[in-house]
Homo-oligomer: A and B are copies of this chain.
Amino acid sequence: MKRFGEEMQQRRKSTRKSPTMLDVAQSAKVSVATVSAVVNGSTPVSPELRSRIETAIQQIGYKRNTIARSLKIGTTRTIGLMVADITNPFFTDVVSVIQDVLHRAGYAVMLCCNDEDINLQDEQIELLLDRMVDGLIIAPAGEDAHLKRILASASVPTVLIDRLCDGIETDAVILDNRRAVLDATAYMLSLGHRRIGYISGSLETSTGRERLAGYRAALDAAALPFDEKLVQIGNFREKDAYKAAMQLLTSAGRPSAIFSANNLMVIGVMKAIRDIGLRCPDDISVVSFDDFPWADVFQPHLTTIAQPVQTIGEQAAQLIIDRLSGRGMEPPRRLMLQGRLIIRDSCRPFPLTAPHATA
């Protein structure tokens, strides 16, 4: 049994340089082509050489250089993922399953968040494209012309999640936002609420617009007037929502219920309610978009519209995987999922039927 001289590679090792295919080839006394063949299983190699090469790889500690490989084959097996806010549990849930599915399929994910900032967004996408990602999954913060230009000229497949972009025809998986909010608003109406405050997200996003449209549609369906003083436009984040709710709560003709167009904002709303000295649901009702894992254990138990986060993530990942493996030129596929209204405790009938009236 011959032993491979460990001393021979010292020179290279001292420079901290990682071993290359050539090193393996020399050590196993074969050509790089053969090494490549066993590493990739691309062409059959005789058992003898194969084992010689494999032990050489072990000994040297060879790892194939993905950068060089990518340069050669023109693919990075990396997906760029951009969401507006990674601090938002909805997005983290989705990101988590996307990451999981993609990992299983052999893709890495490069993550960016733009903090709902439209300029940062463009920068992030450029950065992702710059890294030569094979595909893009994004939840756009807004729809500026720049974004559209970038996506149009980008040669990689894109799938939009959560939010659509006018004029961008790509695969997408979104929620039926209008319907979801329509249902939720109808529910509030059915409980007797007539003045329902609405804390909106940014109307730069399709979700912002569609959810508001759902609210209006419910009002219309009930032949109720739309009072724009009841609507406050925020940006999907807690701080703005706090201010917006404050505005609503201190104005003349305070609403008896408030709808919050996402999860982060409802926290701002609740803080405003607390700071103003009211209680939910005793003094004011609240319904929100997006569910929380803790929603049915901390009080008030929030009545919310839950999104199928698991499915959204799975489908988005699958769409990009499909696109990348063959279905290059097929027409865009759009998946629209349904939300689910979870009725808990934060929205009560109005006017309140006194609970301890006679008992």
**Measuring CB to CB, which residues of chain A are less than 8 angstroms from any residue of chain B?**
8, 12, 15-16, 18, 61, 63-68, 70-71, 76, 78, 86-87, 89, 92-93, 95-96, 99-100, 103, 108-113, 115, 123-124, 127-132, 153, 155, 238, 267, 270-271, 274, 293-294, 297-300, 328
Contact = CB atoms under 8 A, between A and B. Distances in A.
A330 to B, nearest CB: 13
Contacts of A109: 110-112
This chain: copies in complex: 2
Nearest to A299: B299
Nearest to A133: B108
Nearest to A124: B103
B130 A63 contact: yes
B293 A238 contact: yes
A190 B93 CA distance: 39
14 contacts: A12-B328, A18-B155, A63-B129, A86-B92, A87-B89, A96-B113, A99-B111, A103-B127, A108-B131, A110-B110, A274-B297, A298-B298, A298-B299, A299-B300
A132 B67 contact: yes
A111 B110 contact: yes
A127 to B, nearest CB: 6
B270 A131 contact: no
B99 A66 contact: no
Nearest to A238: B293
A59 to B, nearest CB: 13
A96 B87 contact: yes
Contacts of A66: 130-132
